[in-house]
Structure formats: C-alpha cells, structure tokens
Homo-oligomer: A and B are copies of this chain.
C-alpha cells in the first residue's frame, strides 16, 4: 500500500528537515561532550555527509549543544541529561544525505529507548510537519532502514 504523501509540492520543496526527539537516553556517556560530538560526526559520516566543521559546547553543570555543518546542510543536537532527552535536527538539501542512517546511529549511541520523529519540508511553499515514527514503549531504537523514514528523505519508493 502506498504511503500517503506528507510533502509540499515537490517543485517548491528545497530542504528537508528531520525533527527528532530521543527520549530515555541511557548511555552512560550521554553527558560526555566528546562522545556526543563523535556520535554526531559518525552520524554525519554514515549518512554520507561531507563534513565541513563542527562546534560543541558543554553547559555547567550538565547539558550539551552542538552543530555539525555539512555540505548538504547541518545536524544539530541539544541534550538535557537530567531528563535523558535530546532534541536533534537533521536538515538536508539534495538527495545525497541518508538522514535515516544518521538518526539510527545517534539513537544507538545515545542509548535512546523511545523516540519521536517528524519530517518537515521547507521551501517556497512554506513548511509542513508530518509524523514519521513514534515508539511509545521502551527499548525501541530507530530503524535506519525504515521505508517510511527513507521515503521521507527521498530515498525510498514510499511503498510499505
């Protein structure tokens, strides 16, 4: 069965943004800035991104913010270790980036047990948010090969 399109008119869509909430992140390195930065860089690499630069900041006493600028756009993360929560954005232009793999890598390395992922088209027609994937129960890492996720980023056929 074909998945119902969430997108704006393809002619006017210029960027695609994955809006990702990672809940219940239980990895013990969740507040380690080196681990978070390396995880974001690894996510970018596994998504076939061309990394240009990265910048990360550790808050006192806890919490990390960071951005990886890639030729295909950017990845951003903000963490709240007191809640085991990370807000992640993956913004892509073009068809090269495998955003679903980026999400999978981050979900695994941060030990996220639950997640909520939406896709937002950006462009001349404005923006629109569509829910992609939600796990309510625990122990449900992100599936990087999810047809829905891959389709949302223009990498799948949209046929489930």
Residues of A at the B interface (CB closer than 8 Å) are: 14-15, 19, 21, 23, 52-57, 59, 65-67, 69, 71, 73-74, 76, 78, 80, 83, 85, 87, 89, 91, 93, 116, 118, 120, 122-124, 126-127, 129
Q: A55-B53, A129-B129 are in contact. Are A89 and B91 (CB under 8 A)?
A: yes
Copies in the complex: 2
| In contact, B71 and A67 (Cβ under 8 angstroms) | no
In the bound complex, what is the Cα–Cα distance between A126 and B129 (angstroms)?
Answer: 13
In the bound complex, what is the Cα–Cα distance between A52 and B73 (angstroms)?
Answer: 20
Could you write out 12 A-B pairs with CB less than 8 Å apart? Answer: A14-B85, A19-B122, A21-B123, A21-B126, A55-B69, A65-B74, A67-B67, A67-B69, A67-B74, A85-B124, A87-B122, A120-B129
In the bound complex, what is the Cα–Cα distance between A78 and B75 (angstroms)?
Answer: 13
Q: Classify the interface of chain A: helix, strand, loop or mixed.
A: strand
| In contact, B87 and A15 (Cβ under 8 angstroms) | yes
